[in-house]
Structure 1
Amino acid sequence: MFENYPPKSVVVGIDGSQAALWAAQWAVDEVADTDTPLRLLYIRELSPNANRRETREVLVAAEEAVHNAHAAIEAMGKPVKVEMEIVEGRPLPALIDATYSTRLLCIGNTGSGNGSDTGFGSTAAGLVQSAHCSVAVLRGDHDEDITDGRSIVAHVDGSPDDDPALEWAFEEAKRRNAPLVLMTAYRSGFDLLQNDRILYEHDRRMQAILDRYVAVRTPHYPEVHVRTITAYGTFLTHLAEHAKSIQLVVVGANQACELRQLVGPTGAFASRHSDFSLLVAR
C-alpha cells in the first residue's frame, strides 16, 4: 500500500493509560517487519504556574508511561523499530501537529480527553475531524495481542473518496486476518421510499459498485474474505445492530455525516454494547 513512499513513522499517543498501551500494541502490526518506525509520543502538559517539583513530577510520569509502552511492545516479541519522544504542549494541538509527519496516528480512546456517552473522548473526536493523516481510535480493554475473529466493516458511498477507506480496510483485514464487510447505507425521502422501482435501481447500482470494488482488489488480497451489503437506513443503525460482531470500523475522512454520527451524541446508540475501534482513512 505504501511501497512508493518513504517509511514515515506510525505515531502512538501515550498518556499513561491502559488504553494507550493497547493502542501501542495494536500499532505494532502496522510496522512489524518493515523499516517504518513506531514513535511513542507523550505530550507533557504543564500548568503555567508549575513549580520545579511539579515540573519534575510530570516529567517522571511521562518517562514512566513511555517506557511502560516500550516494554509492552518488546514483550510481544515482534521486530519493531521504536522511537520515544516527550514534548510539551496541549494534547490535541500537539497530536494534530504530529499528523503532518506520519501516515497513521493511533490513540487509545479511554485516556483521550474527557469521557462521554458517545464512546469517544473529546481528543479522539477532535482528531477525527482535524488530523492531517489517518487516525485509529482504539477502544476496549485489551492488554495483549489477541486473535480477533470479528469483522472489519468499511463504509463506502460510491464516490472517488472511497479509495483511502478501501485501501486501509483491505490492508487491515489482511494484516489482522479478519473478514471484511464492504457496505453502503442510504436514506431517501418518504416519496421515494414508496417507489419500489427507484429503491431497487438504487440497490442495483450500489451493489454493482461494491462488486467492482471487490473485483479490483481481491486479486491483490486473495486471503481476505469479503462480503458486501447495501442497507436502507443509516450506517450507525447497522453498527448498532451488529456491534458485537465488529472489531474495527473504517470510514473515509470525507464522509462527514457518518463521522459526526459516530463521534457525536448519537454514537452511543452504536457503541454502548461494543468495543469496536474506529479508523478514519485519509
Structure 2
Amino acid sequence: MTLRSVVAPIVVGVDGSAAARHAVRWSAGEAARRDCPLRVVHAHTWPTRRSRARYAAEYGYRRALLSRARRWVDEGVALARGTAPAVRVEGDVRVGSVVELLREESRSARLVVIGAADRGGPAALWEHATAAKLTAQGHCPVVVVRGQPGRAVHRDGPVAVGVDGSLASGAAVGFAFDAAAAHGVPLIAVHSWHRLLADGPLAALPMRQGVEADEEWLLDRQLAVWERRYPGVAVRRVVTRGRLIRSLVERSAGAGLLVLGSRRRGVSGTLLGSVEQAVLHRMPCPVAIVGAGAQG
C-alpha cells in the first residue's frame, strides 16, 4: 500500500539544486500543517546518442545518472524528514520527462511543488514553462517556491489571492481560503479594475464611485460562499483601480503565500499569462497557480 492510497499527498520535484531544497523545506512544512504525506520525486531522461559519444561505457554512464538521481531523491527525503519529523515521506525516481512525471503525480496529489531559482535567463524560462504546462495539463494546484536571500519570506504571513470574477479566480479563492485555514492566518483578497469610461481625468466622480461600488459587489459575491464555509478565516478586502500586477505586489507585501487563478487548460499550454509571469518574477513568497479544473 502506498501513501497515496491513504490520503492525497503533496508532491515536490527535486533536481539537486538549492531551489529544489528550498521547495522541499516548504513542502515538508506544508505537509505538516495539512497533516498529509509528502512525496519527493525526480524524473530523468537517458542522454541522446550524440551526447553519449563522450563516454566510453554507456552502461556505466547510465548507472551514474541513475545513482545521481537516487542521491538527489534520498537527500530530499532526508531534508524533509529533518524539517518535519512527523510527516510521512517517500521518494521515487522515474525515467521520463519532468512534466510527464509531475502531471501523472498530480492525478492523486493535493499539491505539486517546484522550486524556482532566484535568477533570470533560460533557467527561469524553463521553470515558468514547466509551471505553465503543469497548470494547463495537471489535475491539482501548482506551487512555485522562489528563494530570494536578500528578501525575507514571512512563512506565517497572510495568504493573498487575486480575484477577477472568473471561474479560475473562483477556484483560486477556494484554495486560498483552505490554505489560510490550514495556516491559521488571515486572507487578503485583492481585486483591481480598470474601465476607460470611469478612468482618467475627465471621468465624473459619481460615475467612478458607481463603478467602484459595482466592483466591490463583485468581490463580495465571489467571497461570500467561501466565507460561509470558512467562518474562522478573517478576510481583508482590497479593491483598487489600476493594474492587477501592481496591486498584487503592493498589497501582498509580507504574505506567506500568493494564490492566482489560471484560465489556461489543455495540452498546448506552454506559457504562463502575463500576470503569473510578472508575479513570479517579483514576489519573494511562494506562488500557487490554480487552474479552473484543478482539485486541491
Q: TM-score, normalised by structure 1?
A: 0.79
Structure 1 residue runs without a partner (length 5+): none
1:19 corresponds to 2:19: yes
1:114 corresponds to 2:130: no
Change (3 A) 1:15 1:186: same
* Residue among 227, 234, 246 paired with 1:225: 234
* Residue among 270, 278, 281 paired with 2:287: 278
Structure 2 residue runs without a partner (length 5+): 53-57, 266-271
Question: Conserved in 1, the CA contact under 8 Å of 2:44 and 2:94?
Answer: yes
Moved more, 103-112 or 161-170: 103-112
Question: Conserved in 2, the CA contact under 8 Å of 1:9 and 1:37?
Answer: yes
Question: Alpha-carbon deviation of 1:137?
Answer: 0.7
1:9 corresponds to 2:22: no
Change (3 A) 1:111 1:46: farther
Aligned positions of 1:100-249 closer than 5 A: 100-110=107-117, 114-116=122-124, 121-140=128-147, 148-189=155-196, 191-193=197-199, 194-218=203-227, 220-242=229-251, 244-249=253-258
**Structure 2 CA distance for aligned equivalents of residues 244 and 147 of structure 1:** 9
Q: CA RMSD in A?
A: 3.2
Aligned length: 267
Change (3 A) 1:272 1:252: closer
Give the match's secondary structure for 2:48. coil
Aligned to 1:250: 259
1:45 corresponds to 2:45: yes
Change (3 A) 1:155 1:244: closer
Which has the larger Rg? 2
Which amino acid in the other structure matches residue 214 of structure 2?
A: R
Which amino acid in the other structure matches residue 67 of structure 1?
A: D
Change (3 A) 1:247 1:262: farther
Change (3 A) 1:44 1:133: same
Give the match's secondary structure for 2:42. strand
For 1:146-194, what per-residue CA distance to the aligned partner results, in whole angstroms no more than 9, with x for missing partners?
Answer: 86343321111234544321221112223234332112112222x3422
Question: Alpha-carbon deviation of 1:272?
Answer: 5.1
Question: Alpha-carbon deviation of 1:271?
Answer: 5.2
